[in-house]
Chain A
Amino acid sequence: MHQIAGNRVDWKAIREDFPILHEQAHGHPLIYFDNAATSQKPRHVLDALRHYYEHENANVHRGLHELSSRATEAYEKSRKRVASYVGAATADEIVFTRGTTESINLVAQAWGGKFLRAGDAILLTEMEHHSNLVPWQLLAERTGARLRFVPVRDDGTLALDQLPALLTPEVKLFAFTHISNSLGTINPVAELCAKAQAVGALTLVDGAQSIGHLPIDVQKLGCDFLAFSGHKMCGPTGIGALYGRAEILDALPPWHGGGEMIVSVSLEKSAFKKPPHRFEAGTPNIAGAIGLAAAIDYIEKIGRAEIFKHDVDLANYATRRLAELPGIRILGPSTERGALVGFVMEAAHPHDLTTFADQYGLAMRGGHHCNQPLMRRFGVTGTTRASFYFYNTTAEIDRMIEILHAAVRFFS
Chain B
Amino acid sequence: MSPELEELYQEVILDHSRRPRNFGDLPDATVRVHGDNPSCGDEIHLGVKFGASGELQDIKFSGHGCAISQASASLMTTKLKGKSRAEVMETFRAFHNLVTDEVAEAPKMLGDLRLMQGVRKFPQRVKCAMLAWRAVEQALQQTTGESTISTETDLGSS
Contact = CB atoms under 8 A, between A and B. Distances in A.
B40 A352 contact: no
A349 B9 contact: no
Contacts of B66: 349-352
Interface string A351-366: 1100110011000001
A232 interface: no
Most buried by A among B2, B8, B43: B2
A350 B40 contact: yes
B41 interface: yes
Contacts of A380: 41
Given A351-B66, A351-B125, A355-B125, A381 B40 contact: yes
B5 A348 contact: no
Interface string A370-411: 001001000011100000000000000000000000000011
Interface in B1-27: 1-2, 4-5, 8-9, 14
A349 B125 CA distance: 13
A368 interface: yes
Contact of B128 (A27, A351, A410): A351
Interface string A185-196: 000000000000
* Chain B: interface size category: 20 to 34
A27 B4 CA distance: 12
A329 interface: no
A303 interface: no
B81 to A, nearest CB: 26
B93 interface: no
B122 A355 contact: yes
A367 interface: yes
Contact of B5 (A356, A366, A382): A356
B11 to A, nearest CB: 11
A355 B118 CA distance: 13
Given A349-B66, A411-B14, A411-B67, A359 B40 contact: no
A256 interface: no
Nearest to B66: A349
Contacts of B8: 355
Contacts of A26: 2, 4
A204 B70 CA distance: 42
- Identify the interface centre among B2, B4, B41: most chain A CB within 10 Å of its CB: B41
A349 B68 CA distance: 10
A282 to B, nearest CB: 31
B2 A368 contact: no
B4 A359 contact: yes
B140 to A, nearest CB: 27
A356 B125 CA distance: 12
A349 B43 CA distance: 13
Interface of A: 26-27, 348-352, 355-356, 359-360, 366-368, 372, 375, 380-382, 410-411
